[in-house]
Amino acid sequence: MRQRIHGPVALVVAALLLSAGTPASAAARTGLPDPPPVQSPAEALRQDLKLVAEGKGWTLAQAAADRKAAEAVGDVAAKVARERPEIFVGSAVNPLPGGAPTLYVKGPADAFVDRLVAGADVDIDVVDGQPYSFGELEERQLTVHKALVAYGFTSVATSVDIVGAGRIPAQVTETPGVDSRPETVLSAMPQGLRPHIDLAVRDEPVTSLEFGFGGERVRGGGSQCTSGWPILANGVLPGITTAGHCDGMNEIDWTDAGLSFPITPQFQHRRAWGDVEYHFGVPVLAGIFYASSADVREARSVEPVAAISLGESVCQYGRSSNVRHCTPDVDSVSVTCTFAPFPFPTERLVGTDNDVGISGDSGGGWSFNDTAYGSHVGNCDNGEVFSAADYYDEALGVQVWLAP
């Protein structure tokens, strides 16, 4: 079942520490300004659909049909992943707006899958007979990635390809002192996986991190990044996220009020569940985030990773670029990136097909309407990548603090 939350640069720096259920207008009692007015769900949805339509050359009705299909197949996929993980592979939306989305299943589709598809709000095509489950595809991809890092490459991007029947896309950047001839590299990979690796050797970086500022500025350690989502630790302690690679952050802005607050780093994770950290000390409001510099929303759900479909549009916003983009489409639900000079893989990032972020957007939120998808990391595998909000519990032991 989906939690609900919202998106992009989710910065919940308002002015007081409010418990969930306390009206945002109570901020006035602290002597600090109230946060800006919050968009209604209808206003938020219309804004994002309009941005998708403009970005893809569609009508608003076509963008709405595309979103309906993505939601429907995502709901079915999440149920399959939860109840039958051994057969779950993934889902994809149709490139034509309103076209039937696709559900991919390992082995033959059974009565359980048939019932879910029959009960969906849209027609769904089922492609069964796939050789590997999503978990198996991810394990194969991670094995190859770690082998490429062990070989000596310092900038590596690999991804899970749910439609490739076991193919493993991999990109590396030529590294001084490392034999980068494809045939030599492949000969050093695990023998059983070599025939399945689609290797590309580049002379330019295939990964990059994006320091600076975004949703709201967080500063410290000589750099700036973006705040992400309001969170609760242990179910009671409020805080704020940013990117895990944003070391030394100790202050956060509240731009609309002309204020700043000290923050205290608590925990950082940059490995199996993405690139994310959280801080205490900042006054936060449950669910409040900036969708753009002028638009404030309430986060009401978190998108399950299993419900994210290939081709699904997701929105990104950062104060550095200061533009809300809704045309990056998901092109992999699990990307692993090794960002030079850090000698370790960052796993299970969500990959998109567009490079819309710039330096300073790291940590900012990815969302659609009032649903939180994740937080910005950087560029990898020819597009932007973000840490999934669904994995914050595994990464940090925290959850997005949703609006009441």
For residue 165, give the CATH number of its domain.
1.10.287.4300
Contact (CB, 8 A) for 69 and 37: no
> Is the pLDDT score of 355 beyond 60?
yes
In a domain, 16, yes or no: no
| Interacting residues of 303 by C-beta distance below 8 A, sequence separation 6+ | 2, 74, 368, 371, 372, 373, 388, 389, 390
Q: How many CB atoms lie within 10 A of CB 388?
A: 26
The per-residue pLDDT for range 11-56, each reduced to its tens digit, is: 333 322 233 333 344 344 345 566 668 899 999 999 999 999 999 9
Residue the block writes with tokens 């690679």? 245
Q: Please indicate, yes or no, if residue 167 is contained in any of the structural domains.
A: yes
DSSP codes joined into one string, 44-64: HHHHHHHHHHHHHT--HHHHH
* CA gap 325, 38 in Å, rounded: 19
For residue 155, give its domain range.
134-205
Residue 381 maps to a domain = no
pLDDT tops 50 at residue 172: yes
- Is residue 181 included in any domain, yes or no? yes
pLDDT class of 308 with cuts at 50, 70, 90: very high
Domain count of the fold of the chain: 1
Integer CA distances (angstroms), 127 to 131, 164, 165, 329, in order:
11, 12, 11, 21
Residue 233: CB atoms within 10 Å: 17
Question: 31's torsion region: left (phi>0), alpha (psi -120 to 50) or beta?
Answer: left
In a domain, 336, yes or no: no
What is the predicted pLDDT for the residue at 354? Answer: 86
pTM above 0.75, yes or no: yes
Residue 274 is assigned to a structural domain of this protein: no
* Residue the block writes with tokens 């007979």: 129
Residue 256 has pLDDT above 90, yes or no: no
Among 80-89, 216-225, 285-294, 325-334, name the one with the lowest average pLDDT: 216-225
Q: How far apart are CA 299 and CA 98, in angstroms?
A: 26
Tokens found for residue 201: 């050797």
Structure tokens at 139: 């394990």
- What CA–CA distance (Å, rounded) separates 301 from 292? 19
Beta-bridge mates of residue 362: none
- Amino acid present at 335: V
Token duo for residue 232: 């609760």
